[in-house]
């Protein structure tokens, strides 16, 4: 008699736009900070202008990040914010990672699981 094989659900596909170290950092930073200027992002992420510009453009094109110009006494500053679409995508990305490496549900075992579970 053939052994019954339990159907495993397909693996969650990670969002390719967020599955890039700098863009993950960008989205996570904006999710925590609420909004940030270009120089704040550059300072906190430690990247070059061109690199940050390029990745921000990708996130803006996908409607993950929006911008607004703040008028002040000095030069107008651009502030970047994570849009609801971006926040939702980041949450789904984190959930997908959690599904790939189940923590705290009894299935994770071994040194890695213990270490990550704290």
Does residue number 116 form part of the binding site for another protein (CB under 8 A)? no
Q: Which is nearer to another protein, 63 or 114 (CB)?
A: 63
- Token pair 């990305």 is found at 93
Interface positions, 5-64, toward another protein (CB under 8 A)? 15-17, 19-20, 48-51, 53-54, 57-58, 60-63
Contact call for residues 64 and 27 (beta carbons, < 8 A): yes
Does residue number 78 form part of the binding site for another protein (CB under 8 A)? yes
Q: From CA 74, how far away is CA 61, in angstroms rounded?
A: 28
Q: Which is nearer to another protein, 78 or 95 (CB)?
A: 78
Residues of the shown chain interacting with another protein in the complex, contacts defined by CB under 8 A: 15-17, 19-20, 48-51, 53-54, 57-58, 60-63, 66-69, 78
């Amino acid at each position: 008699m053939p052994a019954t094989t339990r159907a495993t659900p397909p693996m969650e596909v990670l969002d390719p736009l967020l599955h890039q170290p700098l863009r993950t950092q960008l989205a996570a930073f904006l999710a925590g900070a609420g909004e940030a200027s270009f120089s704040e992002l550059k300072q906190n992420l430690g990247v070059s202008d061109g690199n940050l510009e390029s990745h921000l453009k990708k996130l803006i094109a996908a409607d993950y990040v929006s911008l607004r110009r703040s008028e002040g006494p000095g030069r107008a500053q651009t502030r970047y914010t994570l849009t609801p679409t971006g926040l939702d995508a980041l949450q789904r990305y984190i959930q997908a990672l959690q599904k790939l490496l189940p923590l705290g549900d009894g299935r994770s075992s071994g040194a890695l699981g213990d270490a990550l579970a704290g």
